[in-house]
Amino acid sequence: MKEWLLFGGLAAIITVASLFAMTQGGLVQSVGQVVLTIELGVLLVGAGLFGYICIRAQAKKWGAGLIVVAVLCAFLIYIVWAGHFP
């Protein structure tokens, strides 16, 4: 249980640090964008894959929810690089 708490805390710190870096300028902002994109990409792949597995296992509500999370991650990656809503 302690490992998951440590992993969650580390993920939260990385997310907050990359969001703070994106408010800066130049190279620091670019590094923040890359780190946040990697983190969102891992979440996108994980949610999409597990959502597909849930849909195949007839757990359609869980699968649909995870697919929605994957689509939102893709949208957030667009916002990180475009800098604005479409």
- Position 86 scores a pLDDT of 60
Instruction: Name the one residue in this structure whose structure tokens are 């703070």.
Output: 20
Q: How many helices (H) and strands (E) are present in the chain, helices listed first?
A: 3, 0
Q: 10 Å Cβ neighbour count for 55?
A: 16
Query: In angstroms, what is the C-alpha Rg of the chain?
Result: 15
Assigned token pair, 82:
């475009």
Q: What is the Cα–Cα distance from 18 to 9, expressed in whole angstroms?
A: 14
Nearest CA to 77 out of 51, 16, 86 is that of 86
pLDDT digits (tens, 9 = 90+) for 5-62: 898 888 899 889 988 888 888 899 889 899 999 999 999 999 999 999 999 999 989 9
Whole-prediction pTM value?
A: 0.81
What is the total count of domains within the chain?
A: 1
- Position 85 scores a pLDDT of 64
- The boundaries of the domain holding residue 66 are 2-82
Assigned token pair, 52:
């597909």
